[in-house]
Structure 1
Amino acid sequence: MAWNEPGGGNKDPWSGKSGGDQGPPDLDEVVRKLQEKLGGLFGGNKPGGNGGAGGGGGFNLPGGALAARTVAIIIGVLVLVWLATGLYIVAPAERGVVMRFGKYLDTTDPGPHWLIPYPFETVEKVNVDEVSTFSHQAAMLTKDENIVDVELTVQSLVQDPAQFLFQDQNPERSIKDATETVVRKTIGGSKLDFILTDGREAIETIIRERVQELMDLYKTGLKVTSVNMQPAKPPEQVKEAFDDAIKAREDKQRSENQAEAYSNQVLPQARGEAARIIADAKAYRDKVVAESEGEASRFTSVLAAYLKAPEVTRERLYLDTMQEVLSATNKVVLDVKEGASNLYLPLDQLMRHRQTTGVTAPPPPAVPAEAEPRPAVARPVDRDRRAR
């Protein structure tokens, strides 16, 4: 039953006194009892004993000193636990952004680190190897007033963790808005043929560079790694017309390639032929020049000989000339001594008749003794001189 109920003796649970002597609990007595209990836990004096005979061999410390030591131990343990909470590890793909009272202090690399625990310093880890990807698709107006559907994918990652956390309120939204602005400006400044054919790679490079410039200007801490643009498509309403235009463009390109291939085949042959003709012309020129120089040198030497012996040189020139002129003819003309006319032997006709009939031609008529040739060398008739 409760201490203040009838029949319970009306005793005070704090002091054991009856209800008639009830009063407020003695705080000093409560503290003393608590100290005695803590002393028993740490090997101190037993309640009611002394430090000598009845205490058994424990510590004999005053109650206040024991309480202070206990509190100090507890506080020291708590401090150690609190300091241990300052240890943190940064993963290889992360960077640690350390803040002191909410203000940026330092960026730590991967590995174990320590900071002054909360509430003095805190750390926020940012993944710098994670690639963020988003797509952008829209119908845009080109420079030549055509509409084209453009779809591209932008990939980025965190380059500066401090800027990523503190300089821009929403870096992901900023890069999307910047991409839309840059794409519209780039497509609006390009013609449709350039966008549909050879300009896709150039447009991707321009968009990536311009978006990165805006990211650096806004200090978002993001780095644009790639921009992949899908082949641009015309609107569905004019798709057939664009397909016909693309087919015509492909036919044009094919014809140009064929013409280029034919040109590459013909031009080397023509150049080689031209080089051969030039080489032949140079060789002929060198030959003619050499022959002319030789003839001039020979004429100079003959002139020198002629000036020394005119008659002999003249006779020699005449004989050489006649031999050269008559060496290819089958006609033989004999200058008969003391005859009225020259004797002509048609050797060419005789030879031709023998070849056609197979009959040996009769021997030529005998020449009279008085008509025998002179011992001197037969002199062919100088046709040119006779003509003159």
Structure 2
Amino acid sequence: MAWNEPGNNNNDPWGNRNRNSGGKNDGPPDLDEFLRKTFGRFLRGGGGSGGGSRSGSGGSSGSTVIVVVIAVLAVLYFIKGIGIVNEQERAVVLRFGEYKETRGPGFRWNPPFIDKVFTENVTQVRTWSTKEQMLTKDLNIVDIKLSVQFSIDSARDFVLNTKNPEMSLQQASYSALRHVVGSTVMHEVLTEGRSRIAVEVEERLQSYLDAYTTGINVQKVNIEDTNPPKEVQWAFDDVIKAREDEERYKNEAQAYANDVIPRARGRAQRMVEEASGYRDQVIARAEGEAARFKSLLTEYRKAPEVTRERLYLEMMQEVLSNSSKILVDVEGGNNLMYLPLDKLMENRPRTTVRATPVTSGSELDELAARVVERLQAESQSNNLRRREGR
């Protein structure tokens, strides 16, 4: 059965215990009654319906409560001023609205309502991106997608010098981008000039932010994409394709030139070398012939007849050795005799006979005399037969 049910004589487990025990304080006091009496006296200034002794005890209790409250408030005040600055953060401290210091990583305590602390992460790399339409130097419109990566370089400047540093960053980015793109032709913006534009925008943006003392350090500026307006995209696609074909044709022509030119240079060098060799050959042969003629002239002066005969025979031998037909003009005859040496060589038995070289002029003269005699005899016999036939 519950202690506060009807018929239970309101058996309060705390209040009735005192009454049942005859007024003795054998158990814990009633908390509600204690708080009501204590704060009621404090609010009434220590007065009440009681006597003087009770008023005195109420004044001492009120002072004790005030001390306790002040102590609690002091503890809360101290706890409220406690803070910890992380390794990546910096804390900017203002005292009565005036800059006092910048605290690094570690424990800090600042009096509340006196100091105001702004904590910023100075190592985090933040990113802001946008997509804008820009007018180029040659009065064309392009769509540019830009992204800026930045961090806080000075927490004091970031907190105090500008009202909205990130908005200042955005406005400075717009200004720097329009300035650089406005001084560049569209072809460079769409093709190979994007990296140069990003570098120039980064340098100009950092100079703007330094002039504004925003405390922002630009890490990198990226031109992520550049495109012509959608309405004329097809035309620019054709232009890009034509430029790619142009580059391809140039590369093919260069490859052909790299193949043909070395060959032509090689043939030219070979012809130069052949001409040089022919020249050296002709000069050497001429010099040899001249030396031979000089030596022959010396021998001719010593024995003209012998030398003349020898030259004649050598020449005849050289000429007749390359001919298979010989025509002989016999003195006293009207016809030329024809010797078919090729037929004679064919009818000759194929025996290995080593020719005996002619070593002296007498042997040559004897051989020539025999040939002439035989030819004259054959010529006379032919003439006799012709006469008899007539």
In the superposition, the TM-score normalised over structure 1's length comes to 0.60
Quote the residue 2:385 is aligned against.
none
Could you tell me which residue of structure 2 aligns to residue 66 of structure 1? none
The answer for the alignment partner of 2:364 in structure 1 is 376
Identify the match of residue 112 of structure 1 among 99, 106, 113. Answer: 106
CA contact (8 A) 1:115 1:122 kept: no
C-alpha separation in 1, matches of 2:319 and 2:159 = 111
Whole-angstrom distance in 2 between the partners of 1:152 and 1:351: 104
Query: Which residue of the partner structure matches residue 265 of structure 1?
Result: 255
Q: Report if the CA contact (8 A) 1:99-1:106 is conserved.
A: no
Q: Write the distance in 2 (CA, Å) between the matches of 1:289 and 1:179.
A: 76
Cross-structure match for 2:19 = none
How far apart, in 2, do the equivalents of 1:283 and 1:209 lie?
A: 61
| SS of corresponding position for 1:163 | helix
Find out whether 1:234 has 2:229 as its counterpart. yes
Q: Verify the 8 A CA contact 1:306 1:314 in the aligned structure 2.
A: no
Q: CA offsets per residue over residues 322-364 of structure 1, 9 Å max, x none?
A: 554444322246687x88687431234x389x8xxxxx69xxx
* Aligned AA (2:283): E
Separation (CA, whole Å) in 1 of partners of 2:240 and 2:226: 16
Q: Residue 133 and residue 172 in structure 1: after superposition, are their counterparts in 2 closer, same or farther (change >3 A)? A: same
Q: Distance in 2 between the 1:325 and 1:99 partners?
A: 125
Q: Residue 338 of structure 2 corresponds to which residue in structure 1?
A: 344
- Residue equivalent to 1:150: 144
Contact 1:148 1:235 in 2 (8 A): no
Per-residue CA deviation, residues 38-88 of structure 1 (Å, 9 max, x unaligned), is: xxxxxxxxxxxxxxxxxxxxxxxxxxxxxxxx9xxx99x999998898875
Contact 2:146–2:221 at 8 Å: present in 1 too?
no
How far did 1:261 drift?
3.7
Q: Separation in 1 of the partners of 2:310 and 2:211?
A: 105
Letter in structure 1 aligned against 2:363: P
Equivalent position SS for 2:149: strand
Name the amino acid aligned to 1:233. Answer: P
Matched, 1:291 2:281: yes
Matches within 5 A, 1:314-325: 321-325=315-319
- Is 1:246 matched with 2:241? no
Q: Which amino acid aligns with 1:188?
A: G
Amino acid at match of 2:364: A
Counterpart of 1:90 (choices 61, 81, 85) is 85
> Would you say the 8 A contact 1:212–1:223 is kept in 2?
yes
Cα distance in 2, alignment partners of residues 314 and 342 from structure 1: 26
Residue 294 of structure 1 deviates from its aligned partner by 1.5
- The residue that corresponds to 2:35 in the other structure is none
3-state SS, counterpart of residue 222 of structure 2: strand
Deviation at 1:176, TM superposition (A): 1.0
CA distance in 1, matches of 2:122, 2:113: 26
* Partner Cα separation in structure 1 for residue 246 and residue 76 of structure 2: 80
Secondary structure of the residue aligned to 2:324 is coil
Q: Distance in 1 between matches of 2:100 and 2:344?
A: 124
Measured in 1, the distance between the counterparts of 2:107 and 2:308 equals 121
Cα displacement (A) at 1:214:
0.9
> C-alpha separation between the residues in 2 aligned to 1:118 and 1:190?
55
Q: Retained in 2: the 8 A contact 1:140–1:150?
A: yes
Q: Does 1:188 align with 2:182?
A: yes
Shift of 1:12: 6.7
Aligned to 1:369: none
Query: What secondary structure, in the 3-state scheme, does the structure 1 residue paired with 2:146 have?
Result: strand
Q: Once structures 1 and 2 are overlaid, which stretch shifts more, 215-224 or 257-266?
A: 257-266
- Measured at CA, do residues 146 and 226 of structure 1 come closer, stay the same or move farther in structure 2, by a change above 3 Å? closer
Return the offset for 1:179. 1.5
Structure 2 Cα separation of the partners of residues 183 and 297 of structure 1: 83
Task: Give the CA deviation at 1:106.
Answer: 4.0
Report matched runs for 1:30-49 at 5 Å.
none
Given the superposition, is the C-alpha separation of residues 326 and 162 from structure 1 closer, same or farther in structure 2, using an over 3 Å criterion?
farther
Report deviation, 1:96.
3.6
Q: Tell me, what secondary structure is at the counterpart of 1:375?
A: helix
Cα distance change on mapping 1:298 and 1:127 into 2, 3 Å? same
How far residue 253 of structure 1 moved from its aligned partner, in angstroms, is: 2.4
1:14 corresponds to: 52
Pairwise CA distance, 1:256: 1.7
Q: Classify 1:198/1:151 alpha carbon distance in 2 versus 1 (closer, same or farther; 3 Å).
A: same
Aligned to 1:208: 202
1:175 maps to 169
The code of the aligned residue for 1:308 comes to: T
| Aligned match of 2:359 | none
Size of the alignment, in residue pairs?
299
Q: What do the CA deviations read for 1:103-148 (whole angstroms, capped 9, x no partner)?
A: 253452xx42556756786653211233333333343333333333
CA distance, structure 2, for counterparts of residue 265 and residue 318 of structure 1: 64
Amino acid at match of 1:246: D
Task: Summarize the Cα distance change of 1:280–1:351 in structure 2 as closer, same or farther, 3 Å threshold.
Answer: farther
Counterparts of 2:49 and 2:262, CA distance in 1: 134
Conserved? CA contact 1:93–1:128, under 8 Å: yes
Instruction: Report the equivalent of 1:301.
Output: 291
Structure having the higher helix fraction is 2
